[in-house]
Amino acid sequence: MTIDEGGLVVPEQVNACLLLRGDGVSVVLDITSGRLPAIVHWGADVGEIGPRDASQLTLAGVRPIVANVVDEPVRVSLLPEHHTGWVGRPGMRGSRRGSEWSPRFSTTALRVDGQPVAAGSTEPQFLTFVAPCLVEVEAADSTAGLVLSLSIELTVGGLLRSQAAVTNTASDSYQLDDLVVAYPVPPVARELLDLAGYWGNERMPQRRSFTVGTHLREGRRGRTGADAATVLHAGVPGFGFGSGETWAIHVGWSGNHTHYAERVFTGEQVIGGGELLLPGEIDLAPGATYTGPWVYGSYGSGLDEVARRFHRWLRSRPTHPSPQRPVTLNVWEAVYFNHELRPLLDLAERAAAVGVERFVLDDGWFGSRRDDRSGLGDWTVSPDAWPYGLHPLVDRVTALGMEFGLWFEPEMVNLDSDIARAHPDWVMATGGRTPVSARRQQVLNLSIPECYAHVRDAMMAILDEYAIGYIKWDHNRDLVDAGTQPSGRPAVHAQTWATYRLMDELRAAHPTLEIESCSSGGGRVDLGVLQRTDRVWVSDCIDPLERQRMMRWTQQLIPPELMGCHIASATSHTTGRTHDLNFRAATAIFGHLGIEWDLRSAGPDDLSELSEWIAFYKANRDLLLNGDLVRLDFPDPALTSFGVVSHDKSRAIFSRSAVGTYETALLGRVRFPGLDPDRRYLVRPAGIGRAAQGLRPPQWWQTTPSDPGSGDGVELPGSTLIAVGLMDAPIHPEHAVLYLVDAVNES
C-alpha cells in the first residue's frame, strides 16, 4: 500500500495490458497506472503480439495535443470520464445533492476468469487470453465515496460485452442519473445504420453519415419498442451484408434504454449505451449497488459477420433451444375472443392432421375477457367460456400428440377487472392521476411485493393444474406515467427487474416451460429478455411481404430459431393483401414455423400443400434453424435473396423472393455467398407445393415443362457459385423460389 499527502491509505494500483483473442477478433485493454480500462484496439485479430508490441501499439494511439484543448492527451476509457478533459458524453452522471458529480476512479483490482492479477507493479504486466474470457475490474473514488465494477467479456463467437455497476460507500445517498459504457471505433467508420419502425412495421433500416455530434436513440416506452435501434452500427461507407468493416452495439435490456454514436471535434468516435434512468429512479442508499445491463459489441467484415457473432454466442448457451422447434398453431386469427370448445377441437384435429406439434390458445380464456375491455389481470379460467375448465381442450390437444400453450399478459390490467377494483393502488401511476389509456388497459405494478405474489401465484396455479408447455407472454402498451402509488416515484427499472424475476420463477418451477416474448408484436426484442425466453414474436403483421424485410433485419440480432414466423391467412389480417400459399410458406419456414390461419376455411388442396411445406420444414429444420445466415446485397430492391449454410458448408437452402417489380425484365445471374469455394455443389429448385405464379424456369434447371419443380439442376464449383452465380428464375411479384444446394462427394 501507499500513503497520499493527506496521510490516507491508497490501495495499490493495477498496471496491466491485456490481449483478448477469439474467433477472428482481438481486443487490447490498457489498464495501466491505475486508470480505468481503455480499449486500444477492438476489431480484426492482431495476431500474437508481445509486451513491447502492446506497449508500442498503445503509444501509437495516443493523440497529440492540438490547440485549445487540455494540456494532456485525452484518454477515453470504457466509462468515459469528464475529469480527463473528455468533452463528449460522460459514462457516469449523478451527484450527492450537487457534489461528487465528476468522479475520478482509480483501478485497484483486476481479475481474469476469476484469477487476480497482482497490483502494485511498476512496469505494466502483459497478459494474453483466449475467448471465452472474463475481465473484472474494481475501481474506487474514495473522495466521492463510490466504487465502480466493470465486467468485460470476449465471448464464444467473438462478441465483446461489458457491464458496469456502481456502489455507494459513503454515509449518505447518491442519486445516479446515467451509466453508459462506450466502445471506440476508428475514423474509417463514417456511416451509421440502425433500425426504426412502429407497430406492424418493425425493424426498418435507416442510414446516415457519422458526423460530429451525437446520434442518440432513446427508448422511453418502458419496453424495448417497435421503434428501437436494436443494433446500432458504425462502418466504412457503403458497408453491406457481405463486406465492409463494421462495428455494432446492442443494449441487452427490456426497459428504458439508450444507444448512441458520438464523434467529437478532435476526431474520437464511440458507440455505446446503457439503461435510460428516469429522474430520481436510482437513489443509492449507503451500501447500495446499481448494476447496468450488458452492452454487446460485435465486429465483422459486413453485416452478416456482425450478425453471426450474436447468433453463435446465443447458440453456445446451455439453455438455447434445439433446432427441433415444434411447428406451432396459434388460434388468435382463427377465433379471436370467441372461445367455444367445439370449434377449437375442430381446429386441433385439423392442425394435428397437417403436422402441427404445438397448439396455442390465445387471449380470451380468463375472467370476464370476452373482448379487450375487461378482465385483463384476472388469471382464472372463465366459467362462462369454459364451464369445465380448459381440461377438455388440453386433454384432446395432448392426446393428438401436440403440446398445449397458453396466452398471458401478466404486466397489464383492465380497470374493469376484479384485481383493479380490489387493488387500485397496484396500477402504475404518478401525479395523483390515472395514466392515459392504451389498448383500454393500464400497467400492473409488479415491483409491489403483494402484487407480484398475487400474479405469480395465479399463473403458478394454472401451470400446476394443466399440462402447459408454452406461454405466449404479451405486453401490449407502453409504460406512461409509470410510478408507484402513492408517492408516484418512477418504477420502470423496478418493473423490468420484477418481470425478469417472474419469468425466472415460473421456469424454475417448470423447467421445461418455454416462453415467447410478444409485445404488441415485436416490441420486446432484446438480449435481456432472451436470457429468459425461447423466441420472440417478430410482429403482429404476418403479411409475408412485410415479414420478408422484418425477418431480414430481426436476424441482425437473433438467429432464425428464435423468431416466431407463422404462415398467415390468405388475406392478411393487418394489411388486407392476399398471397398464395407459396409466398406465405416460403417466407415462414426461415424461422420458428407456425400457422396463424383458420384451417377450417382451408380447402383440400391448401391443406395438402400446407402438409408438404410442414414436412419440408421438419426434414430440414436442423439446417434452417442452425445454419449460418447469408444475405445477398443486390442492386435491384425488388429482389430479396438470402440463405442458410450448414456449419460444415455441405448443405444450403437459398430463397429468392420478388418483393416488387423488377427494374428490368430479367435480373440476370444471382450469386450464392457463404459456400466453400473449394467444393463442388449441386443446385436445384426445391419444388415444394404449387409453383410460384409467373415462373419461367431457366435452362439450367433442366426441368420438364409440365412440372417446373422437377428440375435436376446444375453442378458447379463453389467458387463459381460465389463469384458468378446462376441465372435467376423470373416470377410474379410477391412470390418466391427456393433452391437446395448440396456438396457433391468426389472420389
Q: What average pLDDT does range 564-576 have in this prediction?
A: 95
pLDDT by residue (tens digit) across 290-316? 999 999 999 999 999 999 999 999 999
Per-residue pLDDT, 54: 87
Residue percentage of the chain with pLDDT more than 70? 97
DSSP H helix total and E strand total for the chain: 12, 43
* C-alpha distance from residue 219 to each of 251, 253, 268, 684 (Å): 11, 10, 25, 45
Q: Is residue 714 helix, strand or coil? A: strand
Do the beta carbons of residue 741 and residue 683 sit within 8 Å?
A: yes
pTM: 0.96
Is residue 474 part of the annotated active site? The answer reads: yes
Q: What average pLDDT does range 252-268 have in this prediction?
A: 97
Do the beta carbons of residue 376 and residue 413 sit within 8 Å?
A: yes
Interacting residues of 520 by C-beta distance below 8 A, sequence separation 6+: 199, 226, 439, 474, 475, 476, 477, 540
Read off the pLDDT band of 6 (50, 70, 90).
very low
Give the range among 60-74, 385-399, 480-494 with minimum mean pLDDT: 60-74
Q: What average pLDDT does range 625-652 have in this prediction?
A: 96
Do the beta carbons of residue 168 and residue 328 sit within 8 Å?
A: no
Q: Is pLDDT above 90 for 124?
A: no
CATH number belonging to the domain at 328-409+448-474+506-621, selected among 3.40.50.970, 3.10.580.10, 3.40.1000.10, 3.20.20.70: 3.20.20.70
Per-residue pLDDT, 121: 75
- Identical fold at 328-409+448-474+506-621 and 632-743? no
Is residue 4 part of the annotated active site? The answer reads: no
Read off the pLDDT band of 10 (50, 70, 90).
very low
CA distance 623 to 628: 9
Q: What average pLDDT does range 239-264 have in this prediction?
A: 98
Give the range among 106-120, 203-217, 575-589, 648-662 with minimum mean pLDDT: 106-120
CB neighbour burial string for 389-406, b if at least 16 within 10 angstroms, e if fewer = ebeebbebbbebebbbbb
CA distance 162 to 22: 16
The pairing of beta strand 269-276 with beta strand 257-263: antiparallel
CATH number belonging to domain 632-743: 2.60.40.1180
Q: What average pLDDT does range 75-95 have in this prediction?
A: 96
Read off the pLDDT band of 9 (50, 70, 90).
very low
Per-residue pLDDT, 7: 40
Q: What average pLDDT does range 624-629 have in this prediction?
A: 98
Bridge partners (DSSP) of residue 441 are 438
In eight-state DSSP terms, residue 329 is: E
Read off the pLDDT band of 747 (50, 70, 90).
low
Give the range among 311-315, 597-601, 700-704, 728-732 with minimum mean pLDDT: 700-704
CATH number belonging to domain 11-316: 2.70.98.60
Where are the chain's structural domains? 11-316, 328-409+448-474+506-621, 632-743
In the predicted model, what is the mean pLDDT of the chain?
A: 95
Q: From the candidates 227, 478, 540, 606, which is the catalytic residue?
A: 540
Q: From the candidates 474, 534, 606, 628, which is the catalytic residue?
A: 474
Q: Is pLDDT above 90 for 282?
A: yes
Per-residue pLDDT, 55: 87
Q: Is pLDDT above 90 for 43?
A: yes
Per-residue pLDDT, 269: 97
Amino acid at 426: W
Read off the pLDDT band of 708 (50, 70, 90).
low
Interacting residues of 532 by C-beta distance below 8 A, sequence separation 6+: 500, 503, 504, 507, 515
